[in-house]
Amino acid sequence: MTPRLDMVGLAVRDLSASLAFYRRLGLDVPEDGEGHVEATLPGGVRIAWDTYEVMESFDPGWKPATGGSAPITLAFLVDSPAEVDSLYAELTGDGYDGHLAPWDAFWGQRYAVLRDPDGNDVALFAALG
């Protein structure tokens, strides 16, 4: 069997704050769990959020990443370059961290980067023209 990506897991300090951010991006996320929440994205890949306490409970040596954003980016495709701009403006207007304002990237996309409440990079993108 060829391995296939099935789930992306995020370790979070504040589960409620993280879930609120991803709900604003349009994910259908269940209510807060007991330190662990999962959602299935369109296409079948799952995303999971675990509190630091849950991470430490099954891996006593686990430590959160330090020194800036985590080395992962979750990239969300939207319908148009204008939607990149408007969603970025809405989220930063709501107080979320806008890391890189929308720009026309050399690879042919309108692209912007926010940071979720735990410092993970979250990109918004759409094809140009």
Q: Are 52 and 6 part of one and the same domain?
A: yes
pLDDT of 67 reads 67
Q: Domain with 94 in it: what CATH number?
A: 3.10.180.10
Query: What CA–CA distance (Å, rounded) separates 71 from 35?
Result: 23
**Are the beta carbons of 18 and 10 closer than 8 angstroms?**
yes
Q: Are 80 and 127 part of one and the same domain?
A: yes
Q: Are 81 and 29 part of one and the same domain?
A: no
Q: Are 39 and 90 part of one and the same domain?
A: no
Q: What is the pLDDT of residues 3-35, one digit of tens each?
A: 688 889 899 999 999 999 999 999 999 887 788
pLDDT of 89 reads 97
Map residue 53 onto helix, strand or coil.
helix
